Each structure stands twice: as C-alpha cells, then as structure tokens.
C-alpha cells in the first residue's frame, strides 16, 4: 500500500518544473533595425525599411526562480535587401558583402534570457542578457546582448538594446 502513496506524492510534489507557454508577439511599427559600420572609404548606416512580421515564440521558464527563460521557435529572418544605406552604390556593396543573392536573410534566433536585476526606482523595468544565434551568410555565431525590458500597464513589453 505504500507504493501508490509514494507515486502520488512524486507526481504532485511541489518541486519546481519548467513551464512552457506559447506567446504571440508583434513588433511595433516605430521599432527600427540599423547596421552601422565603416568601409575603407567612409562610415555608413543602413536602416531596415520593411516591417517585421508578428509571430509566436515558446517561452520555457525555469520554475525555480524565474531568472532564466529559454526560447524555442524564435527565429526572425531579416531580409538583407530591405536595408537602405541611402546611397545606391553603398547598397550594392553592402548586399554583395552580405552575399544577399545566395543567402538573402540574416537570421536572429533567441536562445535564452537571463534576468539580471530590477532597475532601482523604475517599476516593471529589468536588465536582461539575451543569448542569440546570429546567422549571416551561412555563418552562425552565439552572441550575448544586454537589453532592458519594461512592462507597460497595457500588457506590452518594451525591449531596448543594441549590439
């Protein structure tokens, strides 16, 4: 008789378990992406000129302390030829350097987020380090990006960062 009781206790024990949830996101029209660099001739800035699609991402929270969030289905493909460097020759050079004919997208994939701390004096605002996979021209690198996340009263998140 002890075995079923132990089994029930294990199934309903309060041990922390990861919690997965699918979340719909949209990227505000006022958001921007830019690539800033320097050629052998001059500095440049190329602005992304197309809207970014809405989609779904799966968040997997660590049930213990909610300090780490893992992501799945989190790829965002950014069309290289939608960047405008405000100069047709610079656009051509940029597209060639990025090999846009054979690899037309930059892929940004969220891997995990590490909640660092709440910001003093700002309710609902936190620092976060996001681990991403960045794929350009078939080369994939893992990068860490420092960002801030602020929750608004209308259930939106404002995420700011640069890398």
| CATH number of the domain encompassing residue 35 | 2.40.128
pLDDT tens column, 9-42: 333 334 455 667 777 777 777 888 888 988 787 8
| Nearest-5° Cα angle at 10, 9 to 12 | 65
Per-residue pLDDT at 64: 52
Whether residue 12 lies inside any domain: the answer is no
Whether residue 57 lies inside any domain: the answer is yes
Please give the residue range of the domain that contains residue 38. 19-161
Confidence of residue 7 (pLDDT cuts 50, 70, 90): very low
Whether residue 92 lies inside any domain: the answer is yes
Confidence of residue 126 (pLDDT cuts 50, 70, 90): confident
Whether residue 136 lies inside any domain: the answer is yes
Whether residue 139 lies inside any domain: the answer is yes
Helix, coil or strand: residue 124: coil
- Average pLDDT (128-155) is 87
Which residues, other chains included, contact 45 with Cβ-Cβ below 8 Å and sequence gap of 6+?
Answer: 34, 35, 36, 85, 86
- Could you tell me the sign of the dihedral formed by the alpha carbons of 140, 108, 77, 22, in that order? positive
Two tokens at 94?
A: 């940029």
Per-residue pLDDT at 71: 75
Whether residue 76 lies inside any domain: the answer is yes
Per-residue pLDDT at 18: 60
Tell me how far apart the alpha carbons of residues 137 and 97 are, in angstroms, rounded to a whole number.
Answer: 9
Confidence of residue 118 (pLDDT cuts 50, 70, 90): low
Whether residue 87 lies inside any domain: the answer is yes
Which residues, other chains included, contact 48 with Cβ-Cβ below 8 Å and sequence gap of 6+?
Answer: 32, 33, 34, 78, 82, 83
Provide the number of structural domains found in the chain: 1
- pTM of the prediction? 0.74
Whether residue 4 lies inside any domain: the answer is no
């Amino acid at each position: 008789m002890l075995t079923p009781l132990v089994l029930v206790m294990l199934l309903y024990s309060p041990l922390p378990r990861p919690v997965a949830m699918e979340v719909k996101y949209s990227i505000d029209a006022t958001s921007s992406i830019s690539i800033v660099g320097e050629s052998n001739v001059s500095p440049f800035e190329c602005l992304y000129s197309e809207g970014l699609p809405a989609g779904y991402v799966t968040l997997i929270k660590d049930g213990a302390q909610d300090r780490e969030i893992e992501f799945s289905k989190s790829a965002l493909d950014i069309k290289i030829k939608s960047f405008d460097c405000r100069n047709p020759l610079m656009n051509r050079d940029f597209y060639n350097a990025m090999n846009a004919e054979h690899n037309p997208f930059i892929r940004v994939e969220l891997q995990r987020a590490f909640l660092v701390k709440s910001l003093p004096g700002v309710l609902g605002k936190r620092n976060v380090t996001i681990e991403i996979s960045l794929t350009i021209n078939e080369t994939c690198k893992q990068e860490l990006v420092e960002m801030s996340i602020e929750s608004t009263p209308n259930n939106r998140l404002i995420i700011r960062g640069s890398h």
